[in-house]
Amino acid sequence: MKQDTKQAYWDDIADRFGQSGAQDLWRRHSDRINKRLLDAWLPPSSSGSVLKTDLFDEAVSEGLYPFLAQRFTQVRGVDISKRAVLAASNKYPALETHCADLRALPFTEPTFDCVVSNSSLDHFTEASDVDQAMGELFRVIRPGGLLVITMDNLQNPMVWLRNHLPQRLLQKVGLIPYFVGETLTRRGLARGLEQAGFQVTNTTAVVHCPRAVAVARCAKLQRLGDIDRQSRYLERLGRWERLETWPGRYFTGYFVAARARRPG
């Protein structure tokens, strides 16, 4: 997919999700899990600057900006989609945004004390693109800085099966909402980060509920408009995260997560 075609594709996705609001309830659950992970892995009183590697969450839901703005003095974000960048900027004027490809970030030197990359690098068509993007993340983090990254978890049987079936079919029947690409297991993620120069300090897996079922159920409850039922369902979804402490968490978690540091 050429750069301009890719940008147009993600522009269309940002418009479609932003206008429909069809996944608002599911996005609340997803944002909650991401905030909990960051709360556990970031220092209690962070400061300095942070980069978020896509702005889709901020464009179509609350996203992580409010959380990050409480922890860091400067929050910046990049996205390949101009529409996502515009929507996020309109919602959060203090968020400094850039339209950019993760394989060629628009920063000439180590700039950030932290990078947050939640499910950004799992939309490339080639494994070499993932490696290149990891190298860019390492390049723009200051020595001693942190990276918190999540990717679709290839150890999860449903993710593995999804990546071996025709994407057009999966999108047609509604099992995936947009293009998904190359991704990694826990060991593959740790190995890729280490090859980029990072020291991996923590790994885990998150989002342990049956995701396809949960997304569909959230959409139905959202259409019904019953706030109490929505709240109760979000509470039930949260209980699935107890599986994060189980030995089999890398088989049940939909996303694999890693915390890594640039030496220095």
CB atoms within 10 A of CB 47: 12
d(CA 16, CA 218): 18
SS3 197: coil
Query: What tens digit of pLDDT does each residue of 118-163 get?
Result: 999 999 999 999 999 999 999 999 999 999 999 999 999 999 998 8
Residue-range domains of the chain with CATH: 3-261 (3.40.50.150)
63, 14 in Cβ contact below 8 A?
no
Mean pLDDT across 164-185: 81
Residue 2 has pLDDT above 80, yes or no: no
C-beta atoms surrounding 239 within 10 Å: 10
The predicted structure's pLDDT at residue 135: 98
How sure is the predictor about 21, in pLDDT bands with cuts at 50, 70 and 90? low
pLDDT tens digits, residue range 48-74?
A: 999 999 999 999 899 999 999 999 999
pLDDT of residue 13: 86
Report whether 163 contacts 219 (CB < 8 A): no
DSSP 32: H
Q: What is the DSSP string of 122-149?
A: GG-SSHHHHHHHHHHHHHHEEEEEEEEE
Distance CA(186)–CA(255), nearest Å, equals 9
Q: What is the pLDDT of the chain when averaged over all its residues?
A: 93
